Structure 1
């Protein structure tokens, strides 16, 4: 599957069914030595304004992706 084919898919957390965002809004962290995807960075929609020490993004490790379907990507992350 090409990265461009993932663009329109929504990311959903398996643990609580929460919608985390669209893959098109994310950044991809790639290991420059192997070319493998390490994680996805999504903007955190819960942060309305930034306070000291708050994260502005959600990092989803690539190994947390459980299923890539036609319309969505199912991930399993804790502490969201």
Structure 2
């Protein structure tokens, strides 16, 4: 799968089925050739993932990616913190 294709997929938290938001960036260790994680823009609909009315960015470690499907990426996003504070 191409990175450009991954950016089009919805990110879904398997804990509660909530759509987190689109991928903003990928954290890749080019020296080791491994994926370190996803930076996701968390959307604000009512109460957002982080308990406020505003969205934020979150880092999802690659180990928390459960499954990459045709339409979605399933992640275990419990205990994930916002990068925006």
TM (norm. structure 1) is: 0.75
Deviations 1:24-75 (A, max 9, x none): xx111111321211011112334638xxxxxx42110011111111111000
The residue that corresponds to 1:37 in the other structure is: 35
Higher relative contact order (CA 8 A, sep 6+): 1
Structure with the bigger percentage of helix: 1
In structure 1, the gaps of 5 or more residues are: 50-55
Cα-Cα RMSD: 1.9
The residue that corresponds to 2:75 in the other structure is: 75
- 2: distance between equivalents of 1:70 and 1:38? 21
The residue that corresponds to 1:59 in the other structure is: 59
- 1: distance between equivalents of 2:66 and 2:79? 17
